[in-house]
Structure 1
Amino acid sequence: MIRSEQKSPFRVYRGATIDRDEIEKLRAGTLVGSNAFFSSSFCEEVAEMFIGTDPLAAVSPCQSPVDRRQFVMFKIDVDLNQTADLIIADVSEQSNFPAEKEILFGLGTTFIIKEITYDIHRNLWYIEMVVSSEMFELKQEYTDFVHGCLKYTDADTLFGTFLSGRSSDYPAGISHLQRHLRKMKFNDPNRANVYFYLACAYRSMGKYEHAIEYFHRAKLLQKGLSSQSSYAYADTLSELAATYSLLNNTAKALSLLKQAVTLFRRILGANHIDMPLYYTRLAYVYWQEKQYEDAHSLLLTALSIFKEDMTSVFAGLSFTKHTMGLVKHALGQREEAISLLKETLEIRRQSYGDDHPDVAQVYYSLALIYADTDDKRIAFQYAQTALNIYQAKLPKHHPSLKRASELVERISSYQRESTLPQSEFHNVQE
């Protein structure tokens, strides 16, 4: 095997034909992966044979860098000391053509692009890459996360939460959790968890009354049991508060959140890495009530905790940055607000993909800020993007979908008539 033979870093080559559209998507610094076994060679000349390079003129069959079909030489650097999980083999001895010195990468191998250049004399793209273990690390982190979750809930409940949370397939998540609930014994210790996650899924669909009902059911089962249930009880108070916040019942939300924060401080400590979520929720309600200085102070506390411990906090960090962006805008600090919201957008796109409702929330917030200025074209683009995501992911009567549709119409109306009423922020609570 190659691992026992190669102790020092080495380079292999792969020649390929790629559509121009795919070339344009590649950028230095991005992570790419193979969706099949990935063949390469120790010999650059062999890789050029697969491109079809003219052996006399030493140019590829391509005529220009704008042709639909482009010819690419991949140069791949491998350091087995840095990628202990890499599956790679020298299969030249098993090949019918041993002179090709074929090296085979395993399914799903990931690479980081270092540099992309185009040789105008050879009509050939050169893409330098290095093998990456990043996906292995992410997989390991995800596995550890799942194992951690399974300490407190069962696999069926966890699957339902992933359907409605990560995949944003809320009807499927609710259907799965309801089936699971029907099969449960009445005294099943996981019943409160199912109620809790059903409530979260209903809230994401805009069915707030259903959400409140299931949060109350969970709360009744959790109250006064074990220390773990005390944590779960506090979490349910916080989520119930977030639901009332979405209904603009800020008095109820504030009361519940203060109870939750008090409990969490007692259970976890004031500077625990989980605390920024609850500080941010409280800050969000202060923002709703126009208590901007109180909100700003809490958010600074949350950010200071994140600064001390940056392990696995992207989702929570994005919520805090998003809320801080709203507060900064309310305080008249427009550029800082836009910068924070764009940072939030990038974090959420990396975490959830481009079509998740949480991503749409940030587009909507950015649209509102730009709509309050002369940048109506940019505002329209952000608003339309938010609307497109909501239309694809949310029920047709969802409040977020309605607000995004109204914002698109208002901006369009202004562009047509140059009369846009002053916009106001609406709830974008996670």
Structure 2
Amino acid sequence: MAMAQIDENISDNLETFSLFWVDANVNECGENQDAQQQLRRIINHLKTFEKGDDCIEYICRQTRTEDRIVLIVSGRLGQEVVSAIHHVRQVSSIYVYCRDRKGNEQWAKNFVKVKAVTVRLDELISGIKSDQQTRSKLEECLSFTTSIGGDQSTTGLNGQFVHSQIFIDVLLRMKPDEQDRMDLISMCRKQYQGNSSQLAIVKEFKKNYSPSKALRWYTRESFVYKMLNKALRVQNIDILFLFRSIIGDIKKQLDQNRCQSSVRVYRGQLMTKNELISLGNSIGEFISMNSFVSTTMERPKALQFIQKNFEMSDDMEPVLFEIDADPRKVSFKPFADISTFSEYSSEKEVLFMLGSIFRLNQISQDIDGQISTIQMTLCSDDEHELKGLYDYMKNLYGNGETNLRSLGLVMWRMGKFDQAEKFFRRLLDSLSPKDPLLSALYQNLGLVASDKGEYDASLQWYQKSLNIKLRTRSSDYVNIGISHNSIGMVYYRKGNLFEALQSFTKAATLFEKAKDENHLTMGYVYNGIGTVYQQQKDYSNSLLFYQKSLAIYQIHLPSDHPDLGSSYNSIGAVHYSLGEDDLALEYYDRSLEIYSKSLPPQHPDIAITYENIGNVYKSKDDLKQALSYFQHAATIRHHALSSQHPITVRNDEVIQRLKDKLQKRTIQF
């Protein structure tokens, strides 16, 4: 049951590297088919193409920025294919397997990603195997978020910072489940079907894995390292969920073997020029690592590694991370010398726990200007300026064991509504009809359904939650008031303003009855009443209730909390309706400033503010600026909601009308 739910979003390749082979005869002769089996022992995910155009289209349209491709091309198709895809970031290395070495070397020498031109199949396979040992480490890029400003390598912007930390914390506090371990093994068998060498490793894992062997499994050349690192980099929640007990075991071993004194460690790798520029814009800021960070205590070894290999690609820059780490500064994110656990003990590897936070001190270049040194210092969880927001959100989940509901709420706050619903439903399937958690879970499912635009389903969930509360806790006026407020918001979104105001009024009455008129949820009630008045064009009352809502938020919430951003956005919308465009923009800017610190970059609430700013510029007849903001909003909505969501459809229609108007103006002039 669990695997059926988790399997939906598993991508085609759960490792970073893929091997593509394009040759008109790639699947015809037995020799090539035998070679494919040998190549899968090096890189599991192998895809063959008999036509060059098919390969080009697949690479350009269906691969992700985070993917890495090792490409084999025939002599006949090679020049055409390589010319078309050499610039693509995903293409790591290219090998030409042909009958005319000298002839193909003439064109191949113009492409730096071409590593070899060979006429022998055994030479091709051995070359790929040898290069892959270095390539997999050199291009295993770090995934990180900055605390303030700047881009995030591979996954997003700085608003992800707090949520990445919270997600890790909640995930590691969940109780291990043997069924999840079996689901992980089942998934691996499916991924490595037909790959006997990898299936043997999966079998060994099932038989021999124990928590005390977590670091050995992570450091060896196995699916644990390959899948886990890919999942962390692309934030594949389904895979990370299955790996959570292994992540927890690694953390325990790092705790048990943590360094006792300060160390300076190094890491050599390749980084794109854009990623390096992004880091350069983040000097003095905090970096949260979304993956484990592998380093060495030996600077010459790290330098030798990149000096020997940085010519691998013309769009990459060799960098050396230099990290100072004091164990007295960290308690929750340990680091340890894991040489005794590693198959490569001579590398003197120091491993940092995922979620470790560093301050970026400086980026400098060596005398020749060829290698950039990125100097960082390990920090504690208490040093970054979003600590207030982090502590507030962490406390929402308590200090003890977390569960699927906790994880679902993390997903909801990140704007990942499908993931949230998946975890809520999975928990629901496991509960008895009288479980005390049912009411809260129904409330959460109603919340997600509402955000997904499924308003009738949302009302049904909210009503089920309310019925339980009325039956079991009829004097709990605050919780019953929360239900009425939620129902009111759905009615508002459906356009039923009378029913919405009735529900909000019921909620307010219940809070007054509980003598808790400054309860945080009362702020949401006032906000809901404000939305109804705004829709009725009663802007003075709307503004009054929005300001009352804001006042309560300011009592209870940290200054960077996203609900404050939502409040400023609502007040801005009223000023826009009153024709006060410049004042509206001021409030929208305050909203975006908070969102940039507190929400992931693809969160739907950010799209609302972008749309509102677009409306202001449309009002000012600045259609180009308006179009730009509506396009920003659409990008988020297509990612976070769906193309069929009514809000997304409306957004796309506005974009089309703006384009039509701009085109008419262009024709006129």
Partner SS for 1:244? helix
Unaligned regions of 5+ residues in structure 1, if any? 54-59, 420-430
1:20 aligns with 2:268: no
* Alignment equivalent of 2:465, drawn from 209, 218, 221: 218
Partner SS for 2:602? coil
Partner SS for 1:146? coil
Report the CA distance between 1:273 and its aligned residue: 4.1
Tell me the amino acid that sits aligned with residue 242 of structure 1: M
CA distance in 1, matches of 2:423, 2:416: 13
CA distance in 2, matches of 1:91, 1:179: 37
* Alignment equivalent of 1:197, drawn from 402, 427, 444: 444
CA contact (8 A) 2:261 2:326 kept: no
Unaligned regions of 5+ residues in structure 2, if any? 1-256
- Indicate the residue corresponding to 1:427 in structure 2: none
The superposition leaves residues 170-198 of structure 1 with CA deviations (integer Å, 9 ceiling, x where unpaired) of: 3x655665676576555444443343333
CA contact (8 A) 1:118 1:124 kept: yes
CA contact (8 A) 1:37 1:108 kept: no
The superposition leaves residues 339-368 of structure 1 with CA deviations (integer Å, 9 ceiling, x where unpaired) of: 432443354455442223233222222222
Give the structure-1-normalised TM-score. 0.77
1:322 aligns with 2:569: yes
* Alignment equivalent of 1:39, drawn from 295, 317, 320: 295
Tell me whether 189-198 or 91-100 shows the greater mean CA deviation: 91-100
Tell me whether 288-297 or 115-124 shows the greater mean CA deviation: 115-124
Percent of matched pairs sharing the same residue: 24
The superposition leaves residues 22-72 of structure 1 with CA deviations (integer Å, 9 ceiling, x where unpaired) of: 21332322424162342143x65555444429xxxxxx978xxx9522122
Tell me the amino acid that sits aligned with residue 168 of structure 1: K
Report the CA distance between 1:234 and its aligned residue: 0.5
1:168 aligns with 2:400: no
- Indicate the residue corresponding to 1:145 in structure 2: 396
Distance change in 2, residues 1:416/1:82 (3 Å): same
Distance change in 2, residues 1:40/1:336 (3 Å): farther
- Indicate the residue corresponding to 1:57 in structure 2: none
- Indicate the residue corresponding to 1:414 in structure 2: 661
- Indicate the residue corresponding to 1:71 in structure 2: 318
1:52 aligns with 2:307: yes
- Indicate the residue corresponding to 1:425 in structure 2: none
Tell me the amino acid that sits aligned with residue 35 of structure 1: S
1:24-423 aligned within 5 A: 24-26=277-279, 27-28=282-283, 29-33=285-289, 35-41=291-297, 47-52=302-307, 68-90=315-337, 103-118=350-365, 121-134=368-381, 144-147=395-398, 155=403, 157=405, 166=414, 168-170=416-418, 185-223=432-470, 225-226=472-473, 229-267=476-514, 269-311=516-558, 314-348=561-595, 350-418=597-665
Q: Whose relative contact order is higher, 1 or 2, with alpha carbons under 8 Å and at least 6 apart? A: 2
Partner SS for 1:271? coil
CA distance in 2, matches of 1:412, 1:125: 44
Partner SS for 1:89? strand
CA contact (8 A) 1:314 1:351 kept: yes
CA contact (8 A) 1:280 1:319 kept: no
Distance change in 2, residues 1:232/1:312 (3 Å): farther
CA distance in 2, matches of 1:350, 1:322: 15
CA distance in 1, matches of 2:497, 2:469: 24
Partner SS for 2:328? coil
CA contact (8 A) 1:168 1:357 kept: no
Tell me the amino acid that sits aligned with residue 506 of structure 2: Q
Report the CA distance between 1:407 and its aligned residue: 0.9
Give the structure-2-normalised TM-score. 0.52
Partner SS for 2:651? helix
CA contact (8 A) 1:157 1:193 kept: no
Distance change in 2, residues 1:96/1:385 (3 Å): closer
The superposition leaves residues 242-296 of structure 1 with CA deviations (integer Å, 9 ceiling, x where unpaired) of: 1111122223222221221232344363334444333222222222222223333
Partner SS for 1:134? coil
Tell me the amino acid that sits aligned with residue 39 of structure 1: T
Tell me whether 154-163 or 315-324 shows the greater mean CA deviation: 154-163
Report the CA distance between 1:334 and its aligned residue: 2.4
Distance change in 2, residues 1:189/1:410 (3 Å): same
CA distance in 1, matches of 2:493, 2:423: 25
The superposition leaves residues 398-421 of structure 1 with CA deviations (integer Å, 9 ceiling, x where unpaired) of: 3212210221112111111249xx
The superposition leaves residues 77-114 of structure 1 with CA deviations (integer Å, 9 ceiling, x where unpaired) of: 33433323342335689999999876543444332323
CA distance in 2, matches of 1:120, 1:114: 19
Distance change in 2, residues 1:179/1:304 (3 Å): closer
Partner SS for 2:514? helix
Report the CA distance between 1:235 and its aligned residue: 0.8
Distance change in 2, residues 1:96/1:365 (3 Å): closer
Report the CA distance between 1:228 and its aligned residue: 7.6
CA distance in 2, matches of 1:93, 1:197: 46
Report the CA distance between 1:237 and its aligned residue: 0.6
CA contact (8 A) 2:500 2:532 kept: yes
CA distance in 1, matches of 2:258, 2:417: 43
CA contact (8 A) 1:366 1:382 kept: yes
CA distance in 1, matches of 2:627, 2:473: 51
